Each structure stands twice: as structure tokens, then as C-alpha cells.
Chains A and B, each alone.
Chain A
């Protein structure tokens, strides 16, 4: 029912962290979408499983973005659609549409894929679509094809498990119980490969473990080998639901190793990981020293140059801001609409010691008309920060960039220094979708 408009909080685009009351400092309202496209979406992530076919069942408006994602990444032959039309909403044919649409697509393909990811949307959720019946019939019709349910339902992004979390859970749903190989470990939930110089990566390989990661699987059978590992490593917080599910379903324990920027926290996590592996933790003195030296070098080179960070670059932007500020780097602004509860300590410390740090909404409607850059040299960490500050000096990474541990901190410091001296084609680079997935646009 419509009521008269009343007055409420004003739309705000930025706030000093000293004045912010919580990890969600901005009111929710209309949202703007900047032209920074490097983060992955559920099409990119699903395509990490070699040989699978994706079928999206949605309205044309929802199909449009995903089909062109597949086309841009050169994977349109592994992608199909079933368009939901108005009559399907009214005549009760939604389940039949999915069943017959998917069946028809599989009949049209030259060769049946080993597995199919079927993505349904918000509309199926609201209509109470009987998906269990849909999948039962599809499995009966195609006994040699594995099916799993995936979701493009952004309306649920603030109601429990987000579509991103569900995607990283369903991504491993084709793994089945099997005999374990005690000397093997998986990294799960990452879109990007982990740097081989990362501390935890080296702990795995230098101690003779077989490491499997979906980003390096070349065939569906390679991917299925991931069932053998007794232990999963999770770096991306959105993959924790998937890790818990695998633990319950396949008995695979998991270790959460988030990308952190505090030296002591990083060492504590890595030592815990060594314990889980059953190996002796390496001496971290050298790794700490190298990270420290790289940070000092970066701080020295930057001088008073303003540095900005956005939430798409790293999972803990406040943690990175805190680290850099502690080395004297002039971090002026963090672009994000809110922060995870994992950042509470970083938030509190920054509030106490650096209250002038600006938090800027990354999607406020007001940011659309904001002046992008004041002509002064700025270094940005992340594509959105680069766009909003109008700089060509930026660290072009998304989702942590595959960096981790002390090695990751060292590498980050080096990339910041490099960004200070080397200009990049911001316009060209940030508009490429799914950075690192092979997209050519």
C-alpha cells in the first residue's frame, strides 16, 4: 500500500571513520554501478569446473548479462539459456519450462556434457517452484549427466546465504565420497590461483603434499579428484559455507586462512595451519623481515602521496588500511558500503588512531556526479578506487589477487610501489569482466 512520503535520513556518500558508528556506516538506498568490472560473477565461477555446461533459466533481462559474460570469456558453447516469459508466471508452467527447456538444450548439443549447472532465479523462489521435482525428472531423463542446482537470486543477497556463497558451495557439489589420500590438500573457493610463493602454498608443496585447486583443473576427472583430500583450505570468506558442507558431506576438514594484514595474526594463522597439516611451522623471521622491508620501501617512495583502497581489491580493506597507515602511508579513503564482522578490530583501531580516514560509499547515487580526481597524484588499490579517484596509478587486483600471508604483504607493498611509478590504462583495464578469467573485453 502506498503512503505519503516522509522525511528520513539524508543520502550520504562519505563519513570519517571517527564518526562512523558501525561496520555499516551508510543507509541503504538507490545504488549506482561504476564501470569497474574486474570482479567475477557466478558465470565465471561456474566455468571453473572443466567441461560442465551452464544453463540459466531467467527472464531476458537477467539472461542478458550472463550470456554476454559467457560470450566475452569465449565460453558460449558451454552456455545456454531458457527464457522465462510472462505466461510462465501465470499459467503454472514454470517447472515444465525448466524440464523441457533443459531437455531441449541437451538434445541440441553435439555431445552431452558430464555435468550441468542449472541456474534458477529470484522469480522461481518467489513462485515456490518445485525444483526437487524438476531435478528428479532431469536426472531420470539423463542418467549419465550430473545436475546441480545453482542460483541467480540477488534478491537474497541480504537474507542469509548470498548467491556468491551458494555458488561456491554448489561448485563442489559434484565431488563424491571416496577413499582419502592423506597426503593431499585442496584449496577451495578461490576464483584466482594462489601465488606459488605464498607461505601456506609453500608449506603444502615443500612438505610433499599433493595440492589441488579448481583453478588448475584441466578436466572434469581432475576436478573430481578433489574428493580425495582430507583437508580443504579456505581463503575467500564466501567459501566457508561450501567448506562446512564438504566437511559434513565428505568428511573433509577445513582450515580457514583468510588474507590478513596484521603480522601477528598472519603468523598465528600460519602456525595453526602447520599444526593442521601435522608439519613443523617454518621460521617466519625472514618472511616477516621481507614484508617489513617492502612496506618501508613503499612508504618511503610514496611520501605524502594519497592512497585509496576499495573493497573489491582485498577481502579486508580496513586491515590493509591499518597496516599501511601504521607504516606512515597516507591512506586517505576506503571505498566500501560496509565491512565484514571480521574487520571489527581493524575498524575499532582505525577509529581510535586514524579518525580522519574517510569511508566512502562505493555505490551511493551521489558518487555518480562526484569529481573524479583533483589532479593530484593518487595511488589506488583496486579498480573502483582507481575509477573514483581518476588515477592511472593503481594496483590492478580483485579478490585478493591470489596473494597471501607475509609473502602476500610483501607482494602488495611491491605492487603499490610499482603503481606509484608506472601508469596504467585505467579505462581499458577496469572494464574487462572477471579479471584473470580470459575475458577479452
Chain B
């Protein structure tokens, strides 16, 4: 038992690879463009980390993301009053469309009741408030999921289905898609296939559009961050969803068919190569969609997903620790992953860099490709392999 426990602890060590963006930053990224005020309940550090490494929109967009600047005394005394007062005073001046408070490790230790905080703030300001019990110990997928699901629960209103084919895009954040043309390409894919895009959750989206998301006929979920919201919208409005990123033309056609059928589906299901020599490391929906595109092109590929996974499928291995990933890569001929994974790839394996903002932050931002409908990328890999 003890030996097992020590082995488990060792798996929490990473000698050379990076760390994925955390849950609290996922909340911020998801809500960034919607006119709300998001407060990370944290002493210091989270603000700089998020705005430096995880938020490419920070320099140019005046989004109201702040920290509470929690002090030792406030933590020991459990002084929630100061936090509430600071938020209410600031909200009175800045008039956000909503308020969100998200936790970090110390508030988790303090047992902070975020739901209660949100209720008091909402009563004090008259502004819709959310409390997210993040603790900085899970990945951004968890936080962004919470945030999108909360929007789906609280901000959407009963709406008639549109008389024309329509869709929402769920789970769209720069953490997975950066700020290149990917967001626009996904929208274009939908319109090219006859869907009107009602709302984007949440790049290039507006809160007023999100409120009317129930009018859509189907939801396109482009990352794990959007699955929980899709499930809420399915329950509230009966809207089916399709998980997948439309990458290669063939795969895009599959995704488009799934959308048109109007039944909840995983567009890449069954499309991955088992025990394939080409391995993709990354976020579940994105990586599986790329793997399916490659497999359909005659290059069987499998996926190692180090992050939370809800839309699981054959061919995706959920491994989050450095040693485990290194072992799982044994025998891989080609590895497609963020450059910060390169040090643990097998010697002799071909490494194809696919930077992921949620892993390497801004370091390789300029090299993050827009893979939507990108035949060239797939062909280049096929040629190399």
C-alpha cells in the first residue's frame, strides 16, 4: 500500500516538461470577452501568470479580470467581507454585465464557499454573480467547463428554434485555438455548410447572443471545455451536440453530416488508429479530430490526452504524468505535440511541433497553425510520415 502510494506521488513530478494552464485561468479565458468582471481570489501571482502566458488578448482588450490580493491575515481570519466589499465597490464603478469569483489553493484550504459569496454579491449589487470553486489544482478544461456550463444554466433564456439551420460553437478559447484565424475558420465552416452561427462561446461572441443560444438546432463542441455546457443546453432546450474540430475536408464532411443529422455525436468516434505509430499529445477533442483526419488520410494516428476527458473514445489514452507519457510514447515513430514535450519523446522518433497555448503559453504563439480545413498541414504530415 505504502509502495503504491509513493509511486503515485512520484507521478506528480515533472523533471522537464511544462504544466497545463489551470482551472482558474480557464474560467477567465472562457468569460474574457463577455463584459463581465472576473475576480481570482488569490494573493498574487495568478494575475501575472494568466495575463502573461494564457491570455493573448490582454494587451489590447480592456477585460475586467482582477485578483482579490488576499493577505495572510484575511485568510486566517476568514475575512470574506473585505472581498465582497471590494467587489461590490468596484462593480458599482465599472458596471460589469456579470460578476464571477474563482478560487485558488488558499481559498480551497480555507473552505471558501463560493456559491455563498456569489449569492451575497448578487444581492449586494443586483448584478448576476457566479462563484466557481476552482483551486488551481486542475486544468483549464475544468474551469472553462464550469464557466460555460454556468452561462448555459443562468444566462440563456427560452427561445424558439430558428426557422433556418443554426448552430452555436461551444468551448472556443485561445487556450486551445490561440488568436490566429481558427475561430473565424470554424464559423466559416458552419456557414459554408448552411448553418447560421447564433453564438460563439466565447471568442468573438456576445453575452446577448449566448442568451439566445437555445434557438439553435445543434451545438458544435470544439473542445472538452464545451461539453458540460452542451449537456446543459441539451437538457434545457433539447439541442443535440456534435463534438469535433473540422480539420481535413473529409473529416469536415463527416462533422457536417453529424451536425445535419441533429443527433448528439462524437464526430471522430471510431476514426482513430489503435496502437498507431503516429501519436498526438494534446487536448481531447482537438487532438482526436486531428488524429481522425490523419487516419482518414491513410496515416493511422492515436491520441494521448493529459487533460480531463469526458467525450472519450477508442484510441484516446488519458495519461497526465511525465513518466507515464514517456512510457506510452515508446515505439512511436512520429510524435505530434507541443514543442515543450520534445525532451521526453523517444530518440529517433520524428517530432512534429504543434504548439498549444495551454501548454507552452506565448512562447510559440506565432507558430500555432489554423488547422480548420487545412489540407496542406495534413498533406505535409502524410508526406513526412
Contacts and interface: CB of A to CB of B under 8 A. Distances in A.
Q: Do these two chains interact?
A: yes
Contacts of B23: 61
A61 B9 contact: no
B256 interface: no
Which interface residue of B67, B73, B136 has the most chain A CB atoms within 10 A? B136
B13 to A, nearest CB: 4
B72 A159 contact: yes
Given A30-B66, A80-B14, A83-B14, A154 B9 contact: no
Contact of B12 (A35, A37, A97, A369): A97
B164 interface: no
B22 A67 contact: no
Given A64-B19, A71-B18, A105-B13, A86 B135 contact: yes
A30 B45 contact: no
B89 A29 contact: yes
Interface stretch (A121-129, A179-187, A228-236, A378-386): A121-129
B372 interface: no
B135 A71 contact: no
Contacts of B13: 80-83, 100-102, 104-105, 108
Interface residues of B, number: 77
Contacts of B105: 58-59, 61-62, 84, 121-123
Nearest to B53: A68
B350 interface: no
A365 B95 CA distance: 12
A105 B15 contact: yes
Contacts, number: 230
Contacts of A121: 105
A64 B25 contact: yes
Nearest to B66: A30
Interface in A273-325: none
Contacts of A31: 44, 47, 66-69
A342 to B, nearest CB: 23
B34 interface: no
Contacts of B20: 60, 64
A59 B135 contact: yes
Given A100-B6, A366-B93, A154 B45 contact: yes
Interface string A21-63: 0000000111111010100000000000000000000111111
A179 B16 CA distance: 38
B81 interface: yes
B51 interface: yes
A96 B9 contact: yes
B22 A100 contact: no
A77 B16 contact: yes
A8 B75 contact: no
Assign chain A's interface to a size class. Answer: 35 or more
A126 B93 CA distance: 34
A97 B9 contact: yes
Contacts of B43: 122, 154-155, 157
A365 B64 contact: yes
A8 B12 contact: no
A80 to B, nearest CB: 5
A80 B72 CA distance: 27
Interface string B61-103: 0101011111111010010110011111110011000000000
Nearest to B121: A5
A57 B16 CA distance: 14
Interface string B1-45: 000011001101111101111111100000000000001000111
B145 interface: no
B90 A64 contact: no
Interface in B220-256: none
Which interface residue of A37, A85, A109, A365 has the most chain B CB atoms within 10 A? A365
A83 B105 CA distance: 12
Contacts of A84: 12, 105, 137
B328 interface: no
Contacts of A377: none
Interface stretch (B187-195, B274-282, B309-317, B360-368): B360-368
A3 interface: yes
B340 interface: yes
A76 B340 contact: yes
Contact of B75 (A89, A126, A152): A126
Contacts of A63: 19
Contact of A28 (B6, B69, B343): B69
A164 to B, nearest CB: 11
A183 B69 CA distance: 46
B195 to A, nearest CB: 35
Contacts of B73: 158-159
Contacts of A65: 45, 48-49, 52-53
Contacts of B69: 28-31
Nearest to B83: A30
B139 A60 contact: yes
B120 interface: yes
B11 to A, nearest CB: 9
B232 to A, nearest CB: 25
Contacts of A6: 85
A59 B45 contact: no
A68 B360 contact: yes
B256 to A, nearest CB: 36
Contacts of B51: 33, 35
A2 B93 CA distance: 23
Contact of A96 (B6, B22, B87): B6
B44 A71 contact: no
Contacts of B9: 93, 96-97, 100-101
A35 B70 CA distance: 21
Nearest to B73: A159
A158 B363 CA distance: 32
Nearest to A6: B85
Given A2-B120, A59-B136, A61-B104, A155 B71 contact: yes
Contacts of B363: 68, 71-72, 441
Nearest to B19: A63
B138 A60 contact: yes
Contacts of B340: 71, 76
Given A30-B68, A97-B9, A155-B43, 10 more contacts: A5-B81, A61-B23, A61-B24, A77-B343, A83-B14, A109-B15, A127-B109, A154-B44, A156-B72, A159-B73
11 contacts: A3-B81, A4-B120, A33-B48, A59-B104, A64-B19, A85-B12, A105-B14, A127-B109, A155-B106, A159-B73, A366-B93
Please provide the 4 A-B residue pairs with the shortest distance between their CB atoms, ordered closest to farther. Answer: A61-B136, A65-B49, A61-B22, A33-B47
